[in-house]
């Protein structure tokens, strides 16, 4: 009886594990792989020639260039802020530390559309600073600076939130030892701090870049949808879809999907190639 019970329990556990794996696999297929496959199927529905023609249109090329430009500006800014914020949060005690932590998380809790609207209220023609900016020939809303500001805000937490737990877990002993040995602040950062946080920093940059290129809500509010000037790739997808240019919409969407897959591939490669080193620098690693 005891042997039969053991075999029955083992079979039950195996069936439970199989059911969980099957459910997870089915969920991924239905909600991730099928939609992704449909994007590429629709993009190539009329053949490669129509696909390439859609991407070579001036509006599409402008949207691609603008998306890359906004990401190229927003990601380094958030990289610098993320490192500075993580350093402040983990190495110093000061008044307002809790408030700084809450501000870092603010973009996670605020709708992107609301954040875009806030920028319009601040820098729009009828906003607080709009008349002054207009008098000095500075245009932020419905221009590239507004897109950058909105994207920076939405992607603000990604780098900092990758670094803060790691730097808290690592402590500051190595940095204090370097200071005792005569290292200045820059030497301590580049020779001690940066090597210890580089993997978390890279992960944060990858996530930040992916979100910057795919942001829609905040950018939609501040862009004005000026075709060829302020439309990023996600906005161009929406505009083409609304115009019933399905091949063009899905062609640009496929580029965004490819960029996301490339980000995932880079992350996966780094984990495979440098897995031991990443684990050693993770919280709790040795």
Q: In this predicted structure, what is the pLDDT of residue 197? A: 87
Mind listing the pLDDT tens digit for each residue in 112-170?
999 999 999 999 888 899 899 888 888 999 999 999 999 999 999 999 998 998 888 88
Would you say residue 44 has pLDDT above 80? yes
Both tokens assigned to 186: 């820059």
Would you say residue 3 has pLDDT above 60? no
Would you say residue 7 has pLDDT above 60? no
Torsion of the alpha carbons at 236, 241, 244 and 245, rounded to the nearest 10:
50
The Cα–Cα gap between 60 and 237 comes to 9
Q: Which homologous superfamily does the CATH classification assign to the domain defined by 46-278?
A: MetI-like (1.10.3720.10)
Mean pLDDT value across the chain:
87
Both tokens assigned to 28: 């991924």
Q: Which of 65, 218, 60 is nearest to 147 (CA)?
A: 218
- State pTM to two decimals: 0.85
pLDDT: is 159 or 285 the higher one?
159
Residue 1's pLDDT band, with cuts at 50, 70 and 90, is very low
Percent of the chain scoring above 90 in pLDDT: 45
Work out the average pLDDT over 4-12: 60
Work out the average pLDDT over 261-274: 79
Measured CA to CA in angstroms, residue 231 lies from 58, 87, 169, 176 at distances of: 12, 36, 42, 48
Query: Residue 157 in contact with residue 105, Cβ under 8 Å?
Result: yes
Would you say residue 283 has pLDDT above 80? no
Q: Which of 54, 51, 55, 72 is nearest to 64 (CA)?
A: 55
Would you say residue 173 has pLDDT above 90? no
- Domain-by-domain residue ranges, the chain? 1-43, 46-278
Mind listing the pLDDT tens digit for each residue in 220-237?
999 988 988 999 999 999
Poorest-pLDDT segment among 33-42, 144-153, 175-184: 175-184
Would you say residue 4 has pLDDT above 90? no
Mind listing the pLDDT tens digit for each residue in 65-121?
999 999 999 999 999 999 999 999 988 888 888 898 888 988 988 899 999 999 999
Work out the average pLDDT over 57-69: 94
Both tokens assigned to 263: 């980000």
């Amino acid at each position: 009886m005891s042997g039969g019970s053991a075999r029955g329990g083992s079979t039950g556990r195996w069936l439970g594990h199989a059911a969980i794996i099957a459910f997870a696999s089915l969920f991924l297929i239905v909600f991730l792989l099928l939609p992704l496959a449909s994007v590429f199927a629709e993009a190539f529905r009329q053949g490669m020639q129509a696909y390439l023609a859609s991407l070579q249109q001036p509006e599409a090329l402008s949207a691609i260039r603008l998306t890359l430009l906004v990401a190229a500006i927003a990601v380094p800014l958030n990289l610098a802020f993320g490192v500075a914020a993580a350093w402040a949060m983990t190495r110093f005690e000061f008044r307002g530390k809790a408030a700084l932590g809450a501000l870092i998380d603010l973009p996670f809790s605020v709708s992107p559309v609301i954040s875009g609207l806030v920028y319009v209220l601040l820098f729009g023609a009828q906003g607080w600073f709009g008349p002054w900016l207009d008098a000095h020939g500075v245009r932020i809303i419905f221009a590239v600076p507004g897109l950058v500001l909105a994207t920076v805000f939405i992607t603000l937490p990604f780098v900092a939130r990758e670094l803060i737990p790691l730097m808290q877990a690592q402590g500051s002993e190595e940095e204090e030892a370097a200071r005792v040995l005569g290292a200045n602040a820059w030497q301590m950062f580049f020779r001690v701090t940066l090597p210890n946080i580089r993997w978390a920093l890279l992960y944060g940059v990858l996530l930040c870049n992916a979100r910057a290129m795919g942001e829609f809500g905040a950018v939609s509010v501040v862009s004005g949808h000026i075709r060829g000037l302020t439309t990023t790739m996600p906005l161009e997808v929406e505009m083409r879809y609304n115009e019933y240019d399905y091949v063009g919409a899905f062609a640009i969407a496929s580029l965004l999907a490819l960029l996301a897959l490339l980000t995932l591939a880079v992350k996966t490669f780094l984990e495979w190639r440098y897995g031991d080193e990443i684990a050693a620098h993770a919280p709790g690693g040795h």
